[in-house]
Amino acid sequence: MNPYQAPLADMKFLLERVFDAPTTWESIPALAEAVDMDTAAAIMDEADKIARDLIHPINRNGDEQGVRHQGDKVITPDGYKAVYDQYAEGGWVGLCGDPELGGMGMPKMLGVLVDEMAYSACNAFTLYGSLTAGAALCINAHGTDALKQKYLPNLYSGQWAGAMDMTEPQAGSDLRNIRTKAVPQEDGSYLISGSKIFITGGDHDLTENVIHLVLAKLPDSNGISLFLVPKINVDDNGELAETNGVTVGSIEHKMGLKGSATCVMNFDDAKGYLIGKPNRGLVCMFTMMNYERLAIGIQGLGTSQAAYQMAADYAKERTQGVAAGGSPTGALSDPILVHGDVRRMLLNIRCYTEAGRALSVYTGQQLDLAKYGDGEVKSKASRYVGLLTPVAKAFLSDRGLDAAIMAQQVFGGHGYIRETGIEQLVRDTRIAQIYEGTNGIQAIDFLGRKTTGDNVAALTEFVTEHQHTLATLESISDEQKAQISSRFEALLRVANSVNDNKLAQPALINACAVDFLDAFGHLVYGYFWLLMADRASNHEDAQFAATKQHLAQFYLAKLLPKVDYHLAQVSAGDATIMTMDESLF
């Protein structure tokens, strides 16, 4: 298996030429002082080395060995601890963290690219830092100044880790049914008691402490509150003190991500501290949840890139069969890259991956503007973040699994055995469609809350802006522009139809949401392909430009028509889905 190589040229092209990151950063004082394109390029170069030389080598062993639960300890696979120490020492955990509290203060549109590299190298390892960064973001957004000063520096440094403790066996995604209790104490703390399941990074040997963000209910309250609960208590001087009634009941035995410790966590009168206001825990937790949703989408994107590299390399090396019409070299067998079906799969993977990267960087840009911008710039970016977050999570992770399966198909029978490594990608990325809210839930959020929740206002604003940009692309033909423009108009027609009928047909949104999200995803990818093709038209590397032009043509011809299919599915309504009697299932 060849070592992972980050697609640095594509990444730098997106930042500098497609989304004009330097201008965005210059417009924001906090970022203008921290980063320019040279700094960003240096960070990406170093992240590539870290992913290739440190993280990728532990991927296979982590899958083979897995996490072990021995007594009261959770032990990560051999090599994880040493690599994590170097990763944390380099400041990668706190890359986008608050610089006043120990973070590096880098923009999110750069952070998503670093995240992609790490996920491409090893899904399981990268989850530990991702959960820590998300917990730090939540504490910084909603915690008291005292909690921030006490916990954030060691989270940003990677000395401590973070975990998100939400669901329970009887609750699933319906968190109203959680039973974990929080009893207030005279000193302002709370005693937390209950059990949580599916807790990624709930415990491990990578750090000296794990800081849990736990959803629980106050006495005589049906509301849900959020609490910071350290595995080991921290004294007033910031030093570790006594253990805190936080223990591991077991670790989950999973289909994939064997190197990621997914735990059942027990809290027995564990001391915790309120984050945000009482009974407003979900509002606070969604700060972390939305961070992780984008991160999990990027997990799917990282898988796509890794899968493409593995499959493309294999297709160039593996000889089998002869090209249609005869071997161009007269050989008895040709590399399988000559075969149309293999090329179809590789082009599908590559087109989805490169457009997916554009979506992740664009979403990161909106997050930066929403965080640092002022007035209408900040307001509009916040609306776009709300619109795009469920899409980024669901569409990127769906396409990530598709990419892994297509890449496995390129390998044929060799893709089904462990030695090639491609089957690990299939297993590891399957969970991305499930956790942080299943992709069906993401689609319902996208159509039910983000699209029809404001009577299609945010979606209309988004489409109008991007229609205008589309019209300005000088190197794109009117015919190509029309393929995107007409479908943007169709998307809005269907969205408004759903909005008009949502009260009369209460099951409509739930039944059609996945198709609507898929239509939007395929359409936005088509828009990004024309944008990339246009920005590459004057690229100094003629081969780079020609590649972008060809991939854009392939996408418009072969993948963009999926928009029509999915919109037709939405327009067909919910009748055939909802009218069959339950007894017939």
For the annotated catalytic residues, the residue numbers are 436
Distances (CA, A) of 279 to 181, 287, 377: 12, 15, 31
User: Cα 529 vs. chain centroid, distance in angstroms?
Assistant: 20
Amino acid present at 365? Q
Per-state percent for the chain, helix, strand, coil, to nearest 5? 60, 10, 25
Asked if residues 213 and 275 have their Cβ atoms less than 8 Å apart, the reply is yes
Round to whole Å and give the CA distance between 385 and 369: 10
Round to whole Å and give the CA distance between 183 and 189: 8
| Joined tokens for residue 428 | 């590891």
Round to whole Å and give the CA distance between 84 and 71: 23
Phi, psi of 282, rounded to the nearest 5 degrees: -65, -35
Select from 485, 461, 462 the least CA-distant residue to 473.
485
Round to whole Å and give the CA distance between 103 and 93: 8
Round to whole Å and give the CA distance between 252 and 266: 14
Phi, psi of 344, rounded to the nearest 5 degrees: -55, -45
Round to whole Å and give the CA distance between 277 and 255: 38
Round to whole Å and give the CA distance between 15 and 20: 6
Asked if residues 407 and 392 have their Cβ atoms less than 8 Å apart, the reply is no
Round to whole Å and give the CA distance between 92 and 114: 9
Fill in the DSSP letter of residue 174: -
| Joined tokens for residue 234 | 């921290």
| Joined tokens for residue 480 | 């190509």
Round to whole Å and give the CA distance between 375 and 345: 45
**In 318-437, which residue ranges form alpha helices assigned H by DSSP?**
340-372, 375-411, 422-430
Amino acid present at 575? A
CA angle 546, 549, 553 (to 5 degrees): 140
Select from 525, 513, 492, 284 the least CA-distant residue to 390.
513
Phi, psi of 198, rounded to the nearest 5 degrees: 60, 45
Asked if residues 151 and 211 have their Cβ atoms less than 8 Å apart, the reply is yes
